[in-house]
Copies of this chain bind each other. A is one copy, B any other.
């Protein structure tokens, strides 16, 4: 058969193929992306607790978006630099405990992602070492988060750390 006919077939086959990709495959890719986002956000939640417990406030503050905000018992800070400064002042100034002698037990992750943003709700329990050298939950609370994809990474756009046991009123959310 001649080139003209080959091209005719090729065009037709190509059109059908592109149609299929646009339809089935892209939507499948979008579904896979959403699942990857849910995994990435789980890691964000765990990295928060892990860096906090390790007093790695460089890592900790890097989990927030450029204009990401933390609100909780220490007040409110906006942006990684201000959040790191707040943590250095509030926690870094006290003697560091033995690693893992105090830690955040994170649970009940409720993750809701839509495209490049999402909301998350989760619980935290702060475990300390008692005088009897046993673990004990000292404080309990929950997080209300808005998360965003920034430069391809999921970050906290806003994290409100609620203290429920003992109860502390959350700071008024900053504008």
Residues of A within 8 A of B (CB): 1, 4-6, 8-10, 12-14, 16-17, 20-21, 24-25, 28-29, 31-32, 35-36, 38-39, 42-43, 46-47, 49-50, 98-101, 103-111, 121, 123, 125, 127, 129, 133-142, 162, 164-167
- A110's nearest neighbour on chain B, judged by CB, is B46
- In the complex, the chain B residue whose C-beta lies closest to that of A164 is B100
- Beyond A12-B9, A105-B107, A110-B50, whether A137 also contacts B137 by CB under 8 A is yes
Q: Which 4 A-B pairs have the closest CB atoms?
A: A100-B164, A13-B13, A9-B9, A135-B140
> How many angstroms between the C-alpha atoms of A41 and B14 in the bound complex?
40
Identical subunits present: 3
Query: Does the CB pair B136–A137 fall under 8 Å?
Result: yes
Chain B residues whose C-beta falls within 8 Å of the C-beta of A103 in the assembled complex: 123, 140, 164
* Contact across chains for A16 and B10 when beta carbons are under 8 A apart: yes
**Chain B proximity of A132: nearest CB distance (Å):** 9
Contacts of A29 in B (CB 8 A): 24, 28
Nearest-CB distance from A86 to chain B (Å)? 23
Using CB atoms, name the residue of chain B closest to A105: B107
Q: Enumerate chain B residues within 8 angstroms of A164, measured Cβ to Cβ.
A: 99-101, 103
Docked-complex contact B5 and A110, CB < 8 angstroms: no
Q: How far is the CA of A127 from the CA of B42 in the complex (A)?
A: 23
Q: Which residue of B lies closest to A165 (CB)?
A: B135
Write the chain B residue with the least CB distance to A19: B17
Given A134-B166, A162-B100, decide whether A108 and B110 contact each other with a Cβ distance below 8 A: no
For A49, the chain B residues whose CB sits under 8 A away are 108
